[in-house]
Amino acid sequence: MSGVHLLSWIESANHPAGHFPLANLPYGVFSRQGEASRCGVALGDMVVDLAALEAAGLLGLDGPPVFDQPALNDFMARGREAWEAARSRLTALFAATGDPLLREDPGLRAKVILPVASVVMHLPFKVAGYTDFYSGRHHAENVGTMFRGSDNALPPNWLSLPIGYNGRASTVVVGGTQIRRPWGQIKPSGADLPVFAPSRRLDIELELGAVVGTPSQMGVPISVAEAAETIFGYVLLNDWSARDIQAWEYQPLGPFQAKAFATSISPWVVTAAALAPFRVDTPPRERELLPYLDEPGPMLYDIDLEVLMQPTGAEHPTVISRTNYREMYYSAPQQLAHHASSGCRMETGDLLGSGTISGATRESRGSLLELSWGGKEPLTLSTGESRSFIEDGDTMTLTGWAQGDGYRIGFGACVGTMLPALERKDI
């Protein structure tokens, strides 16, 4: 897969295995001690302070300032014309052979270009709403086989529409935030009634999250092509899941508290423009989709993904899964078009989880539920320890990148460490 690969005068942006070359320019929100949060882009091992660039008059965007905010929403709401203008101007300012205005001004460079190690990353946008989908066929078949048998693995509607549920925007957090083990109702095996206890079957779900940039109108459906135009970018997404709480509560309305306690996203939003060279087709359809879900072209992306697990005290993490986003059955634009098909209004900052991304082999499964086959086949980590589900102190990391010719469009990492459940007297 290829794309435009320009070199930058920021040397760290030119490393072939780095996640943040000039062709990427992902957006995030950062702060330094004693300073307000504001918007930036990642370039190599540096953060470009967009508020400072904007204040210096170097971005040239029409309208009031948008980057001196603690969220990307105002910029995202400006729409595709503004997104393209900002990307074009940033590329010109930081290309090795581009506009020398910033490159040749040491004082301005010191204000605008900051080491990423010197900043704290925050949630990159205000999450207006969060919807999680169930669009990975291998994942759906694995889970269905475990609980209903291989002959009834997929629900009858699965091949016709992207199944989803509305989650909690209030507990979407930026990667790096520690996660507290949740309490909930759990029905032990053989028991007639549930108990209230900390989850013991705590899991991750490897997902990609699509971020809606421009809103739709209530009562007005949108096409898949229109949906693609409204998506600003994508984040890594970990839909933390308490499987034992979920097993008791999910009938008949689906997940609730088992998912509501936390969802982690990566600090950097990789734009749809940066990923455009890596588009691939969705898989062949076993059942013809209804016309409103027709795709005008390739809508998935070729993105390599990994899950790493690191117990407390372990020197290095263990890669427990490798897969690719192209495994999805439904694309994010299809999910968004289906979401709006009833006339549901989509907002700037809406977050759509892809659903667990699993491949065809055991090594490519995107959740511990699948990797350990419901706990019956524990994993062995590089430390020699075994895991069926997440234990206290375990750190889970999601990472991913689209591989170009001599460069990568990366997402960085989405990290979370599991804290022990609160004592009953504390809740």
pLDDT at 229 (0 to 100): 98
Query: Same structural domain for residues 354 and 214?
Result: yes
**Would you call 5 a catalytic residue per the annotation?**
no
**Whether residue 295 sits in one domain with residue 263:** yes
Is the CA virtual torsion 336, 159, 353, 90 positive or negative?
A: negative
C-alpha–C-alpha distance, residues 134 and 60, integer Å: 41
Element (H, E) at 202: strand 202-203
Residue 4 reports pLDDT greater than 70: no
DSSP label at residue 259: H
Q: Pick from 104, 122, 140: which residue ends a domain?
A: 122
Q: Could you tell me if residue 4 is inside a domain?
A: no
Rounded CA-CA distance 376/170 in Å is 34
Tell me: do 102 and 162 sit in the same domain: no
CA distance 116 to 70: 17
Together in a domain, 84 and 151 = no
Q: Give CA–CA dist 209/13, Å, rounded.
A: 25
Q: Which two tokens stand for residue 271?
A: 């734009």
Domain boundary among 75, 101, 122: 122
**Per annotation, catalytic residue among 139, 316, 338, 339:** 139
- For residue 281, pLDDT beyond 80: yes
> Which are the contacts of 420, defined by CB distance < 8 A and separation ≥ 6?
180, 181, 198, 392
Query: Span 193-209, mean pLDDT?
Result: 97
Contact between 272 and 234 (Cβ < 8 Å): yes
Position 1 in a domain: no
Q: How confident is the model at residue 425 (pLDDT cuts 50, 70, 90)?
A: low
Indicate if 50 and 190 belong to the same structural domain. Answer: no
Model confidence, pTM: 0.96
Domain with residue 115: its CATH number is 2.30.30.230
pLDDT tens column, 156-185: 999 999 999 999 999 999 999 999 999 999
Range of the domain at 186: 130-426
The total number of structural domains that make up the chain: 2
Do residues 203 and 67 share a domain? no
Report pLDDT for 228: 98
How far is it, in rounded angstroms, from Cα 364 to Cα 290? 30
114 and 166 in a common domain? no
Residue 141's domain is classified under what CATH number? 3.90.850.10
- Within 8 A by CB and 6+ apart from 21, the residues are 5, 8, 13, 14, 15, 43, 44, 407, 408, 409
Q: Are residues 93 and 23 in the same domain?
A: yes
